[in-house]
């Protein structure tokens, strides 16, 4: 039996017809930028997350950069986040010129150790980025309490957590700004790059909408006013109407070209209706694993939140051997993450050393993801359980 970590080909078979119809619609319309499907997809995400604004962008990394810039975060500022994450979280902080400040993680759920956040706050701290790692929600109430007390912004990096919820509220609606990625391997994957920003703030939405299109035109002027504390009408204007408008050649701020591709919007609209059932399937697989895997540590279920199980990550004392054993039996695995952020070469200048954030270092040597995706059949889940359980530690 050959079992991949993710089955995008199998998924495509389910959505092929709709995807092709929707892509063809874009091609026929010749409306390739800021078109109607972008707008429709943003509306769908707004209602899915229960949020006032959803803004399509080019990818999840840009979403983080735009979020930080919209909050006015840059040189001289510090942003607290988890060391056990995908590089883009930390990269975005450094990209805007701010300093990433890394916090260790919980050994059970792999998320930021909330009890270690406050000791990292200085007069330069501006924000906390909470990453819902592997789809499992952070304790947002606790994080928001700390942020409020210390007058910090909170950003959710929800790249891995679309469809997850915390105390009945959708992930992406629990902070000042949340960011999503539609990288093909994410739970809602495009057929290329894509991203989304959600926020309840009209002002932040206006700034982000301007920033993603060079900060030009009337949105750019409004964003300039907002970023400089000048009060004016701040409602953002429809980008679609700016495509052929002379206004777009008047520039006010340095922005980006970071739009969600119209063809990717067509793909995402076709796949969104499946998301909840796919996440449910992942949950069912995870529950089987929680109940039936032994000899390896695995994430427990959490009664205050619902995870979309972007990845199902176990811990093994003999990771390399277990990976080899599973590979021999046709089961693909992946290591997330082999090097925590504070020990990455790129962040050497920050002065961290081995032993500084011990839980993340412990996990980086032991974690591996096993297939838990929505296309698995019952007998495959059983096969994986058998093969993990039959592994004898040396």
Residues that bind ligand PLP (CB under 6 A): 59-61, 85-86, 88-89, 131, 157, 159-160, 181, 183, 193, 195
Least distance (Å) from ligand PLP to the CB of residue 86? 4
CB of residue 193 vs ligand PLP: minimum separation in angstroms? 6
Backbone angles phi, psi at 89, to 5 degrees: -60, -50
* Nearer of residues 60 and 299 to ligand PLP, judged by Cβ: 60
CA–CA separation, 260 vs 182, rounded Å? Answer: 10
Instruction: Record the tokens describing residue 183, joined without a space.
Output: 């990288």
CB-wise, 86 or 278, nearer to ligand PLP? 86
Name the minimum Å distance from CB 110 to ligand PLP.
11
| Least separation in angstroms between CB 342 and ligand PLP | 16
- The structure tokens listed for 312 are 């199902």
Residue (186 or 221) nearer to ligand PLP, CB: 186
At residue 3, the 3 state secondary structure works out as: strand
Residue nearest to ligand PLP (CB): 60
CA distance 299 to 301: 7
Interatomic CA distance for residues 345 and 3, integer angstroms: 34
Question: HSE on the CB side for 352, CA within 13 Å?
Answer: 23
Secondary structure element (H or E) that encloses residue 315, with its range? strand 312-315
Angstrom distance (rounded) from CA 354 to CA 361: 8
For the bound state, the minimum distance from the C-beta of residue 190 to ligand PLP, rounded and expressed in Å, comes to: 9
**Considering beta carbons, is residue 90 or 388 the nearer one to ligand PLP?**
90
Q: Within 10 Å of residue 79's Cβ, how many Cβ atoms?
A: 26
Cβ 302 to ligand PLP shortest distance, Å: 19
Smallest gap, in angstroms, from Cβ of residue 209 to ligand PLP? 19
If residue 195 lies in a helix (H) or strand (E), which one and from where to where? strand 195-199
Residue pointed to by tokens 């986040």: 81
> Closest CB to ligand PLP among 23 and 159?
159
Pick the closer one to ligand PLP by CB: 252 or 336: 336
In terms of CB distance, is 101 or 385 closer to ligand PLP? Answer: 101
**339 vs 84, 242, 345, CA distance in Å?**
8, 44, 10
Contact predicate 305/156, CB 8 Å: no
Q: How far is the CB of 64 from ligand PLP (least distance, A)?
A: 6
Report residue 78 as tokens.
Answer: 């510090």
Instruction: State the residue for tokens 């412990």.
Output: 362
Phi, psi of 370 (to 5 degrees): -110, 155
Q: Which is nearer to ligand PLP, 132 or 325 (CB)?
A: 132
């Amino acid at each position: 039996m050959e079992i991949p970590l993710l089955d995008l080909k199998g998924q495509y078979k389910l959505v092929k017809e709709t995807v092709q119809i929707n892509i063809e619609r874009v091609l026929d319309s010749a409306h390739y930028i800021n078109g109607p499907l972008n707008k429709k997809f943003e509306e769908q995400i707004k209602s899915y997350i229960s949020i006032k604004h959803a803004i399509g962008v080019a990818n999840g990394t840009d979403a983080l950069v735009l979020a930080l810039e919209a909050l006015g975060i840059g040189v001289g500022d510090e942003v607290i986040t988890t060391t056990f994450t995908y590089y883009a979280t930390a990269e975005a902080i450094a990209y805007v010129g701010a300093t990433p400040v890394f916090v260790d993680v919980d050994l059970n759920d792999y998320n930021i150790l909330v009890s270690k956040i406050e000791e990292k706050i200085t007069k330069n701290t501006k924000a906390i980025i909470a990453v819902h790692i592997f789809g499992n929600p952070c304790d947002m109430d606790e994080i928001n309490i700390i942020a409020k007390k210390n007058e910090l912004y909170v950003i959710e990096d929800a790249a891995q957590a679309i469809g997850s919820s915390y105390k009945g509220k959708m992930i992406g609606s629990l902070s000042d700004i949340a960011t999503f990625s539609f990288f093909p391997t994410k739970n809602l994957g495009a057929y290329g790059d894509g991203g989304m920003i959600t926020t309840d703030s009209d002002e932040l939405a206006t700034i982000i909408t301007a920033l993603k299109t060079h900060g030009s035109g009337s949105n750019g002027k409004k964003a300039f006013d907002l970023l400089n504390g000048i009060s004016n009408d701040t409602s953002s204007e429809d980008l679609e109407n700016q495509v052929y408008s002379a206004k777009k050649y008047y520039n006010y701020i340095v922005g980006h070209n970071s739009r969600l591709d119209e063809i990717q919007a067509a793909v995402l609209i076709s796949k969104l209706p499946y998301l909840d059932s796919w996440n449910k399937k992942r949950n069912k697989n995870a529950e089987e694993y929680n109940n039936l895997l032994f000899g390896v540590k695995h994430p427990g279920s959490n009664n205050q939140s619902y995870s979309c199980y972007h990845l199902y990550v176990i811990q093994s004392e003999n990771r390399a051997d277990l990976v080899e054993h599973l590979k021999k039996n046709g089961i693909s695995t992946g290591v997330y993450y082999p090097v925590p952020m504070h020990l990455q070469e790129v962040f050497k200048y920050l002065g961290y050393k081995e032993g500084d954030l011990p839980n993340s270092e412990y996990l980086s040597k032991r974690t591996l993801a096993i297939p838990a995706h929505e296309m698995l059949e019952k007998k495959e889940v059983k096969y994986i359980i058998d093969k993990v359980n039959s592994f004898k530690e040396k």
